[in-house]
Amino acid sequence: MNDAPAVPACSRKYIIIGAVAGGASAAARLRRMDEKAIIILFEKSDYISYANCGLPYYIGDIIKERQKLFVQTAASFTKRFAIDVRVCTEVKSIDTDTKSITATNLITGETYTETYDKLVLSPGAEPVRPPLEGIGLPGIFTLRNVVDTDTIKSYVQKFPAGKAVIIGAGFIGLEMAENLHQLGMQVSIIEMGNQVLAPLDFSMAAIVQQHIRSKGISLYLSTSVTGFEKDKNGLQVILNGSEALLADVVILSIGVKPDTRLAIQAGLKIGKAKGILVNQFLQTSDPHIYAVGDAIEFENPITGTSVTTFLAGPANKQGRICANNIVFENKYPYNGSIGTAIVKAFDLTVGTTGLSAKNLKANGIDHLLSTTYSGSHAAYYPGSEQMNIQLVFAPVTGLLLGAQVVGTKGVDKRIDLLASVIKNGGSIFDLTEIEHAYAPPFSSAKDPVNIAGFTAENILLKRMNAFYCDDVSSLGKNNFIIDVRTEKEYKEGRINNAINIPLDDLRGRLKEVPIDRDIYVYCMIGLRGYMASRILMQNGFEKVYNLSGGYQLWFTANEEKELAILKSEAKLERVLEI
């Protein structure tokens, strides 16, 4: 909106509970929009504004100076914004009838009340700590705030070449694995699910898993922790169906849940996703109370279902929008978050936005899928690296529903482009026309996002029929499989029952292809397979399918599945022995 409403003439009193991303952003915006207001910011810790996402990198000595983690201190925030900042003070209750809160100074023990005209809840989320035997033993940590960070950093320094076990293979789990490995520790990751990074589809996660193992990390998938024991050698991490792991330090990265204790006490509505329910203006069920950050739930822009998100970007934006709505009386809707996230996993960068194919399938949403490989920049310029882009999109309309990118360079730029298209209701056709800055060190004349769009368009318009990694195992003798790579590539590894007809020879060998059977073609990454499918389709072969992502993606995903099967069989043998 260009014409902002006038600021109310009378001064009002705003209380914000919880600082960091959402709360601190709301407080600063409130001051900028209402110079005369009384603003009180309560924070139960010592720290009001710090870089949560930088905490693992400080532990790993990538960030050397602790002070660089802090965006604002209580003193600097007070001086700049004229806000009454009360750290080490916990709000114990909210009385919606009297529009007041009760707070306790955690240093002096003093308890007192404050009234408000409008209140902002920003309590964040709290780490999940399952009730496992021994979970309270020394050396077992969660990472959520500065205090946790200082404690972990001090503790791991006692074990410069020790053993670390990370429980949970989400974003923070992988970041902690990398940073403890950076310190010289021997790292193991335990994940209850069958893959790392749950928001990804399996084939994309498989690429990450292979890379993690190549760095010497022990990865235990489909494995659960049943408890912890202490002995003379350190901590024993007891696993279901596997031998116990010895650890000097254990990081619990199982996940977080919205901190809704104050909201429940105040009688505010909690949603299906167990977060504080807010409307489009970030207003709770009480019209005088707003909420932002990790504790809230809102409507997913793609599915319309109620969701939570634990990301700093949305929390900061919510803080700003919330403040605008408080001052200007609900003029600025929050349009939700599509879960755009990125993580560094050793040499790989992994980005995701929107919905995954498995999530769409679970929600009964029809979709098509496309996977492409492209160079991060022009191949003739030194240093180009391959990146993998997966798109999911709606049949008929081509509406873009989700995207995942895995690579070493330029992933951030591409996932941001894709997220912008999704957030603005764009389609794969928009990707084909994305205008990007091009010079050889940065991209190609056809950017990887353009290529992904071209391929998705071909699938949508049935210029190419795709089949996928999961389909390969079901191909039988009634299907004719053609490997259109070179003879050398074919001999180095191939899909069972595939015959080799190199792409450049295909036109001269069409008589070798049966006209009455379904034809499945593949190459290394999908491009030659697409060209082969076009040749066949225009020469009378009606049922022709090209392997999306090619042999490279199938081999990676299949190798990970085979490894999982072998480990499952080994676990079963151990159980039978017992």
Positions annotated as catalytic residues are 523
Phi and psi at residue 572, in whole multiples of 5°?
-60, -40
What is residue 2's three-state secondary structure? coil
Q: Residue 66 carries which DSSP code? A: G
Around Cβ 385, how many Cβ atoms within 10 Å?
13
**What stretch of H or E contains 230?**
strand 225-231
CA–CA dist 431, 457 (Å, integer): 9
What is residue 281's three-state secondary structure? coil
CB 317 within 8 A of CB 29: no
First to last CA, the chain: 68
CA–CA dist 355, 407 (Å, integer): 19
CB 189 within 8 A of CB 220: yes
CA–CA dist 9, 351 (Å, integer): 46
Which residue is it, tokens 């920003």?
122
DSSP 395-432: TTT-BEEEEEEEESSSHHHHHHHHHHHHHTT-BHHHHH
CA–CA dist 124, 294 (Å, integer): 5
Pairing of strands 163-167, 186-190: parallel
CA–CA dist 149, 147 (Å, integer): 5
CA–CA dist 250, 438 (Å, integer): 46
- Token pair in block for residue 38: 């009384």
* Residues 6 or more apart in contact with residue 395 via CB below 8 angstroms: 366, 367, 368, 460
Around Cβ 480, how many Cβ atoms within 10 Å?
22
CB 141 within 8 A of CB 251: yes
The sign of the CA dihedral 446, 448, 454, 457 is: negative
